[in-house]
Amino acid sequence: MQINFVTVDVFTDQQFGGNPLAVVLDAEGLNTTQMQAIAAEFNLAETTFVLQPTDMGNTAEVRIFTPKSEMPFAGHPNVGTAYVLASSGTSYGRKLSEPFVFEERAGLVRIDLTRKDGQVTGATLATPQSLKTGRAVPVEIVAEACSISIDDIEISNHAPVVASCGAPFVMAEVKTKASLVSASPRSEIFSRHLPMDLATGIYLYWQGTGNPFDIECRMFAPLFGIPEDPATGSANAAMIGLLAQLRSEDDIELCKSILQGAQINRPSVMHAEARKKPGSDTVLRIGGNCVPVSEGRITLVGQVTG
């Protein structure tokens, strides 16, 4: 059995920057075990598998896997998969129309393509769920898990808290860029205090930049096989939603430029938006550019087990 794949770098306009993604284009016939094995083989933060949609009015069903687990929703896999499908123009013989709508475990994900000089350069997604905040996480646990001091964590705006717009993360603000840069994940603390069913990982952010970026951030998810993610669209969408939720106004429009991945030499640039009108839910969007890297075929021989 042969299946086609494409790899792209997401949230960047330079090859070998941003967050790499593998997109398996013809995943019909693969089972979950095979998909997980292929994702582990690529060993990227995420790999997506494109299937025919249940509702033919949608673009595709998309399943997302880290090297160790399936994700209900993630940002850079959606942006990258949309870019790849837009570049081909078809999926399973169907001509694709805009906007794209992907069926995922967290719900429907609408994606608008972005262009420059008539060429598709990236995409912007709207999250499948409104922001939900869950339990607070003790500052001591966040500090220990990230190898920083309790005093490094900013709690004047909010305490560390689980937040999700399709995938949950522990959101914590830090006081200085030095605190952000010095952070390092300790997987044994994640295992002890932050199980996979509680949160995907810890997202640290700093709001002290502004030139040229409004926010710098890092995300650690060692239990999912991601020691550090170069770009986490779903976490950044939750972050912009959390910042909007902290505002008292009923009419809100927040737009932030975000840098992630600089500490691991994979600089990623995202644009996040939160828009709320009186009497409506806050719409959360995250987007950026993509560049192609490679394409090829996987030959499956025999039975994949695991």
Residues forming the active site: 46
CA-to-CA distance for 300 and 281, rounded, in angstroms?
45
Q: How far is it, in rounded angstroms, from Cα 69 to Cα 132? A: 22
Token pair 């039975």 in the structure block, residue:
303
Contact residues for 23 (Cβ-Cβ < 8 A; gap 6+): 5, 6, 7, 8, 47, 48, 50, 80, 81, 84
Cα distances (angstroms) measured from residue 96 to each of 6, 49, 261: 18, 17, 32
Question: φ, ψ for residue 234 (rounded to 5)?
Answer: -65, -35
Q: Map residue 288 onto helix, strand or coil.
A: strand
CA distance 227 to 57: 38
Distance CA 233, CA 135 (A): 21
Side chain identity at 203, as an amino acid letter? Y
The DSSP bridge partners found for residue 284 are 274
Q: Which two tokens stand for residue 93?
A: 């013989």
CA atoms of 234 and 75, how far apart (whole Å):
5
Q: Find out whether 144 and 153 touch, Cβ atoms under 8 Å.
A: no
Q: Which residue has tokens 């909007």?
A: 244
